Structure 1
Amino acid sequence: MLILLLCITNTPFTAPAQTSKVTQLPVEAFASIPDVSHVRLSPNGKHIASLLLDDTAEVPHKIVALFNTETGQFHIPMKNDHEKFMIANLTWASDEILLITALMPSKRFGKNANESLLIKYNLSTGEAGSVLTKKALKRFDSIPQYQGDVIDLLPKDPEHILLSVSGFSKRVSEPTVIKVNLYNGSFTTEQYYREHVIDWMTDQQHRVRIATYQDRDTTEYRIYEQSEANGDLRLLWKSEAYSEETVIPLGFDVNPNTLYVKAYHEGFYAVFKVDLTDPKLKKELVYKQDNTDVHATLIHSKVTRQAIGIATGDDNEYHFWDKNYKKLVNRLKAALPDTQNYLTQFSHNERRYMVYATSPTQPGLFLYGDRDANRLEVIAAKYSQLTPALLVEPQQISYEAKDGLEIPAYLTLPKGIEAKKLPTIIFPHGGPHSYVSDSFDYWTQFFANRGYAVLQMNFRGSTGLGYEFKKAGMQGWGKAMQGDVDQGTRYLINQGIADPDKICIVGGSYGGYAAMMGAAMNPGLYQCVISFAGVADVEDLVKLSRFYTTHELTKKTLGDDYDELYEYSPIRHADKINVPILLIHGDNDKVVQVSQSRDMYRKLDALDKPVEYVEIENGNHYLSNNQHRLMTFKAIEKFLATNL
């Protein structure tokens, strides 16, 4: 564990000098979960809560830690039973109450599932307990599976929060909004559940105003508005999932009739504001980016409650329209010129704040700022074992797909080695409705540190590049999406960067699918394959979705022609995979069932193919456990060393 206090007031931040010689870091430096994460500032700015990696324990795991910004005192308020649950998030409900979200495995309807529990910790008494007490849970028809969805912290009412939970009817899973007392566990119902409503949003007056409706028998979404909780719902917008008519509410201004939304503008997501008293609901453009989607989160002033800006995504930090905040951002950039600087939190009077600074080669620094004292301090490093000087900045490149579509990509080269005929990792991202950027990525940096060139591409279907680009990937698994990945491999060979005899394709989730499919459909192009939690049988994936509320959405994105889905599944073409393949999967994966890798292993083994299989006991889809991550990376390192 590391808490580093270093005053850098009025001192420009500079990265260490780059070295030309490659230094190989231990696998633990990349494969350990963050030393520090989920750093949260209390409303009065006096305490900082965080999750720390307790690497002194027999089994390293996350623990909650508290730091007093005024006295400098640091202590561990509570020890958690990491074998029963995993801490996932921290939130300050008030200066006295810290909320802790924990995840734990369970059974639902005979199937493995995850549940979330919301725990309250009282700084004054040192007591901890569930927000929803046993007495409170007796009022439910069934125990809520997810208890951590806080939709409003009610900052003017430190004794209560608004919690969105299901469990008030055995027939429906739609959420009800309750007002919970954080001290005695009693609650009152603010908003009763409504059929097909999957989400509620409050305004700045803390009234339940916006309902998001999903018809599970179709793929239609609707956005409704009401003047007060349990009022008459007024339809604002409706659209099909993944359509260009999609409108996503972001939040209200202090004016209860001004709603900010995300919608498409000239083919790309942008931010608008809408006057709800306007019968035509005209959208006024607030912010857009050229040829890029805006991944927006609305930011409010804690003092005035006004909307003051938006967080625009991993690569663009913030866009403020308030001049005072613009000044603060400019000062941060002057002090930290080499990093992207995210203002993650303010105290209630906005005089104290938290900053997260990162870059492609800076794994992350947490800073505490005091505007009155003109002070900015680094308080922790996210990954203490990773030295920025030994990391590599990705190069943004592009290449043409077979049909001429430009595919944006990132190429990361090992430090100090000529970019000529290098052993290479082709690394398609998961999702597939996701994207890659030049943000710090511990997988990529691990591969580069081991001497491999790494290619990551935003194949068609990736998000962030507009509606048409995302639409081009609909029902495209194994087709043009796959071609985009494989064409990137050929591009690196033609450029003389990749050694054609030393290329391994690696991926997780959808990326694991693309890795297996790439080897099956391109004999000789790849020399080995690594799939972490990969999809091997797309037909089975779609059929399994029948037991979940996402079935219609799954069919829309993947298709429902089962013969075709099986034809574009790696397991169908296992006989064509003639190179070593490593399969890794957690047996507690709720996103991609472990049966996908088990079935693929059996098929390959029966065909006498060179396959290795590592199954992680109690492992999930995200390698949240420190030992699981380390086990995975060691298996990958050994496999690559042997086969490349």
Structure 2
Amino acid sequence: MKRILTLCWLLLALPILHLNSQTLPIEAFASIPDVSDITLSPDGKNIASVVKLTSTKEQGTLVTLTNVDTQKQTFVAKTDNQKYTVQGLSWASNDMLFIYAKFPATRNGTPVSEYRLFKYSVSEANLSSVIKPMVLKRFKWAPQIQSDIIDMLRDDDDHLLMKFNGLGNDPQYESVMRINLTDGRSSVVQYAEKNVYDWMTDRQHKVRIGIQRDETTYKILEQADNNEDLRTLWQFEAFAEDQVWPLGFGEDPNILYVQAYHNDFKAIFKVNLTDPKLTKELVFKRDDYDVNGGLIYSKVKQKVIGINDGADSEYTFWDPEYVGLVKGLDSVLPNNRNYITQFSEDERRYIVFSTSAVDSGTYYLGDRDQGTLLPIAYRYEKLLPEQMAKTKTINYSARDGLNIEGFLTTPLNAPNSAKLPAIIFPHGGPIDFDSNSFDYWTQYFANRGYAVLRMNFRGSSGYGYRFMKAGLKNWGLEMQTDVEDGARWLISEGIADPKRMCIAGASYGGYAALMAVATTKDLFQCAISFAGVADVEDLVKSHRGYTNFDIVKKQIGDDYDALYERSPVSKANNINVPVLLIHGEKDRSVDFEQSEDMYDALKKHKKPVEFVVLENGDHYLSDNADRLKAFRSIEAFLQQHLPVNKAAE
């Protein structure tokens, strides 16, 4: 029996659109997802989701609850995405839903993000804060992060374990507290230890692992029980090849799963903590890519069965039963990548996210007992796969011979022989990665008629230790020329028109875009930087008041004169093409002043520049109005400086 569950008013009612290469409305791309963060209650009876709110009176985000059997809908929470944004959802029990929220704030004159945890009782239809005022009275200061759960205590619906700083004799370090979800009372179960910033429990809910950092040296510490003597399991330097990161325990409290390098790539191992040599036994690896993510523990099988990795925390299994389940999904939903993202507690119901380079994603509810797979929601309902441009994986050689993997998207129905206007689109991070997956920026550019090249330049994650290490302290050097070499490859292949090429990016990608037009001549006809870094020296120095300052220096560098020379702001006079800068005033990741200073430097040298300010904007275009404003600015800029319908003379 085919049924369709409804989450609000927008699910799986197919929009009537002509299935050709028509130009779609900018709102189809420049909007926050229609539905995201779908999560299933432990009993499999309720689905919670984050849903876009768009009406004539208000815009923002709703948290909704839908009963699977009755399809009764409840509106749990609403935000305009300016006061706060919803970062995620999870279930504490069948009756209690957690909502993770991020608030823009200022501490001691420094812009910061504050994180809070709310709970919604299904039976009482009541929304409240998990952390009560009486708990905060125990702290020397209100913790910036009040949402960090380290153990849900699945066998105890009334409590959970959370970590906070601000307590006891070492308030700058993390303590673990037991929080009562009914009356709000609390007790400390693990006191802070110097330089320990994270704690991990075993399956018996004892605090067993501490992660300590002293400047750039990490130690993985272990204890038999809460507040007992700590021993060092591993010690290593930041970005070192011998790093070993704990992921979690098996059912046996002596079996710890870890991530470490294996033949240059990150892999998953298990270690018996009673073994004096701490021998690492290989559990799961990939031959040419790193394995990242968190453990998937099966309560039914009482063992670890896989890992959740990828852009949407997709489940990758090594247990044969669940590998078979995924293979079955692939046969039912061919040509897509089909990821299980959650199970009910008995593992009979589950959520599937099905996506591809042309499919923004469809959520399904699976039922193993009934043998059904029911569609729930589109991620972007107006972006039909038939109207999206295809992406293919390509490889090119950097000027020093290093192989660079890239992803080329060409407009739908573009002639094979045509030299297309093109956009080079490096990712942010920079220790991040692109993949052959759906990207709304890329599909927007392709829908407007541009070929789009994304590449994983050296320093990108996922390609092993040596590739990652090659990006350390490399801003403006080979990381930058890797991007330029991608543009030249696109020209040499006859895909791009050499006189119609623009470079665009966000965050580090914005830095790469600005540096490209500052250090190359006649390669690009324009540049677009969203929340881009313009002054690398200032970026590093801005971390002086943070605990990760030494890590930042090790990653980016601390030769301030050299960093300034590798900054676009120092080379503004060399830029001779139009530049578009876009930045949110409430960006907590890259200071708004970065784009402000770049604009001032370009204006000083009388260079062609536009600056679009998003008054309440953050680093992620979380607000729908900000996203629309940014994309409309990009559209007008490209139409003026890189029009598709005008061939180069």
TM-score norm. by structure 2 comes to: 0.94
Determine which of 442, 460, 482 is the counterpart of 1:484.
Answer: 482
Q: Does 1:574 align with 2:572?
A: yes
CA RMSD of aligned residues (A): 2.0
> What is the distance in 2 between the residues matched to 1:164 and 1:337?
43
Aligned to 1:300, the other structure's residue is in SS state: strand
Alpha-carbon distance between aligned partners in 2 of 1:101 and 1:471, rounded to the nearest angstrom: 34
Give the letter aligned to residue 612 of structure 1: E
Following superposition, the deviation at residue 303 of structure 1 comes to 2.1
Distance 2:302 2:452 in 1: 45
Matches within 5 A, 1:490-569: 490-569=488-567
* Counterpart secondary structure, 1:473: coil
1:93 equivalent in structure 2? 92
Secondary structure of 2:582 counterpart: strand
CA displacement, residues 574-604 of structure 1 (integer Å, 9 cap, x when unaligned): 0000000000111111111011100110110
Matched, 1:233 2:230: yes
Paired with 1:355 and 1:94, the residues of 2 have a C-alpha distance of 21
| Inter-partner Cα distance in structure 2 for 1:259 and 1:122 | 34
Matches within 5 A, 1:198-217: 198-215=197-214
Report the CA distance between 1:330 and its aligned residue: 2.0
Give 1:464's aligned residue. 462
Match for 1:32: what amino acid?
S
> Displacement, 1:304?
3.6
CA contact (8 A) 1:4 1:381 kept: no
Partners of 1:314 and 1:619 lie apart in 2 by 23
CA distance in 1, matches of 2:539, 2:79: 35
Deviations 1:458-478 (A, max 9, x none): 111111111111111111111
Question: How far, CA to CA, are the matches of 2:420 and 2:510 in structure 1?
Answer: 22
What amino acid is the match of 2:534?
A
- Which string of whole-angstrom CA distances, capped at 9 and with x for unpartnered residues, describes residues 396-426 of structure 1? 1111111111111111100101242100000
Counterpart of 1:27, as a letter, is I
Alpha-carbon separation, structure 1, partners of 2:169 and 2:86: 28
Secondary structure of 1:354's counterpart equals: strand
Given that 1:508 and 1:532 are in contact with CA atoms closer than 8 Å, whether structure 2 keeps it comes out as: yes
- Separation of aligned partners in 2, 1:635 and 1:79: 28
Query: What per-residue deviation string (whole Å, max 9, x for no partner) do you get for residues 303-323 of structure 1?
Result: 243111223535995443333
Q: Tell me if structure 2 keeps the 8 A contact 1:426–1:489.
A: yes
User: Secondary structure of 1:428's match?
Assistant: coil
Letter in 1 for 2:297: H
Match of 2:135 in 1: 136
Counterpart secondary structure, 2:360: strand
Give secondary structure in 2 for the equivalent of 1:395: strand
Q: Does 1:126 align with 2:125?
A: yes
Deviations 1:495-544 (A, max 9, x none): 11111111000011111111000001101110000001111111111111
- Which residue of structure 1 lines up, in the alignment, with residue 189 of structure 2? 190
Counterpart Cα distance in 2 of 1:575 and 1:126: 60
Structure-2 change in CA distance of 1:516 and 1:82 (3 Å): closer
Correspondence 1:284 to 2:277: no
Residues 265 and 373 of structure 1: is their aligned pair in 2 closer, same or farther, counting only changes over 3 Å?
Answer: same
Who is 1:84 aligned against? 83
Q: 1:59, 1:423 → 2: CA distance?
A: 38
Q: Report if aligned partners of 2:314, 2:341 keep a CA contact under 8 Å in 1.
A: no
Indicate conservation of the 8 Å contact 2:576/2:608, yes or no: yes
Change (3 A) 1:294 1:472: same
Letter of the 1:634 partner, please give it: R
- Where in structure 2 are the equivalents of 1:263-412 lying within 5 Å? 263-314=260-311, 318-412=315-409
Q: Which residue does 1:632 correspond to in 2?
A: 630
1:102 & 1:318 partners in 2: Cα distance? 24
Deviations 1:594-618 (A, max 9, x none): 1110011011011111000011112
Structure 1 residue 324, shift from structure 2 partner: 2.3
Question: What secondary structure does 2:183 align onto?
Answer: coil
Query: Compared with structure 1, are the counterparts of its residues 57 and 250 closer, same or farther at alpha carbon in structure 2 (3 Å cutoff)?
Result: farther
Cα distance between partner residues in 2 of 1:401 and 1:315: 30
Question: CA separation in 1, counterparts of 2:313 and 2:252?
Answer: 27
The answer (yes or no) to whether the contact 2:61–2:80 under 8 Å persists in 1 is no
Q: Distance in 2 between matches of 1:80 and 1:403?
A: 50
Contact 1:351 1:371 in 2 (8 A): yes
- Give me the whole-angstrom Cα distance separating, in 2, the residues matched to 1:111 and 1:625: 22
What is the rounded CA distance, in whole Å, between the counterparts of 2:190 and 2:169 in structure 1? Answer: 18
Give a deviation string over 1:302-357, Cα, whole Å, max 9, x none. 22431112235359954433332223222212211222122111111111111111
* Aligned-partner Cα distance in 2 for 1:281–1:577: 55
Q: 1:638 to 1:456 in 2, by over 3 A?
A: same
Moved more, 601-610 or 133-142: 133-142
Question: What per-residue deviation string (whole Å, max 9, x for no partner) do you get for residues 219-270 of structure 1?
Answer: 1111111111111111111111111011111111101111111100111111
3-state SS, counterpart of residue 545 of structure 1? coil
Please tell me whether residue 5 in structure 1 is matched to residue 2 in structure 2.
Answer: no
CA distances 1:441-500 after superposition (whole Å, capped 9, x unpaired): 111011001100001111111111111111111111111111111111111111111111
Deviates more, 1:167-176 or 1:201-210: 167-176
Name the SS of the counterpart of 2:503 in structure 1. strand
Partner of 2:646: none
Pick from 421, 424, 432: which aligns with 1:426? 424
Residue type matched to 1:533 in 2? A
Partner of 2:438: 440
C-alpha distance in structure 1 between counterparts of 2:4 and 2:19, whole Å = 28
Distance, in Å, in 1 between the alignment partners of 2:353 and 2:29 is 19
1:560–1:334 CA distance, 2 compared to 1 (3 A): same
**Cα distance in 2, alignment partners of residues 42 and 315 from structure 1:** 19
Which of the numbers 466, 472, 475 marks the counterpart of 1:474? Answer: 472
CA separation in 1, counterparts of 2:512 and 2:237? 27
C-alpha separation in 1, matches of 2:170 and 2:575 = 46
Unaligned 5+ runs, structure 2: 7-13, 643-649
1:611 — aligned with what?
A: 609
Distance 1:535 1:169, change over 3 A: farther
How much identity, in percent, do the aligned residues show? Answer: 51
Whole-Å Cα distance in 2 between the matches of residues 340 and 353 of structure 1?
Answer: 16
Distance 1:382 1:192 in 2: 42
Taking structure 1 as the reference length, the TM-score comes to: 0.95
Residues in 2 aligned to 1:549 and 1:616: alpha-carbon distance in whole angstroms: 29
Residue 178 (structure 1) aligned with residue 177 (structure 2): yes
**Structure 2 equivalent of residue 11 of structure 1:** none
**Structure 1, gaps ≥5 residues long:** 7-14
Change (3 A) 1:223 1:156: same
Q: Which residue does 1:113 correspond to in 2?
A: 112
